[in-house]
Amino acid sequence: MVPRGRRGGLRSSSVLPQDIADVTPEQVIPREVSVQGGQINGEVPATDFPPPPELGSFLQFPPKLVEAFQIQAQNQRALQAQFQNGNAGAADQQRLADPGRENGASSMVRFKKMGPPSFKGESEPDVAENWIRETEKIFAAIRCPEEDKVVMATFTLQERADVWWSSTLRTRFAGRGDVSWREFLVAFREKFFPEHIQDQKEREFLDLSPGSMSVMEYESRFSELEKFAPHICVDDRRRAKKFVFGLKGSIRSRLVAHDHQTLSSAVRAACLQELERERYLAEKKLVQDSLPVPFARQDRKKKRKLSSDVTPSVVTVAAVPVVPVVS
- Taking residues 93-121, report their average pLDDT: 70
Contact (Cβ atoms closer than 8 angstroms) between residue 120 and residue 98 = no
Amino acid at residue number 306:
L
- Taking residues 55-63, report their average pLDDT: 56
For the chain, the structural domain boundaries read 107-192, 198-288
- Taking residues 235-259, report their average pLDDT: 90
Q: Are strands 39-41 and 34-36 parallel, antiparallel or unpaired?
A: antiparallel
- Taking residues 209-217, report their average pLDDT: 92
- Taking residues 177-194, report their average pLDDT: 92
Whose CA is closest to 129, among 223, 193, 218? 193
Amino acid at residue number 218:
Y
Phi, psi of 305, rounded to the nearest 5 degrees: -70, -40
Q: How many CB atoms lie within 10 A of CB 42?
A: 8
Q: Which residue has the higher pLDDT, 84 or 161?
A: 161
Beta strands in the chain (DSSP E): 34-36, 39-41
pTM of the model: 0.47
What 3-state class would DSSP assign to 183? helix
Give the confidence band of 263 by pLDDT, cuts at 50, 70, 90. Answer: very high
Alpha-carbon separation of residue 211 from 214, 215, 220, 249 (angstroms): 8, 10, 14, 11
Amino acid at residue number 95:
R
Which pLDDT tens digit goes with each residue over 273-324? 999 988 888 888 888 777 776 644 555 556 566 555 555 554 454 554 554 5
Which pLDDT tens digit goes with each residue over 18-52? 554 455 555 544 554 444 444 444 554 555 556 65
Q: Measured between alpha carbons, how far is 204 from 199 in angstroms, rounded to an integer?
A: 9
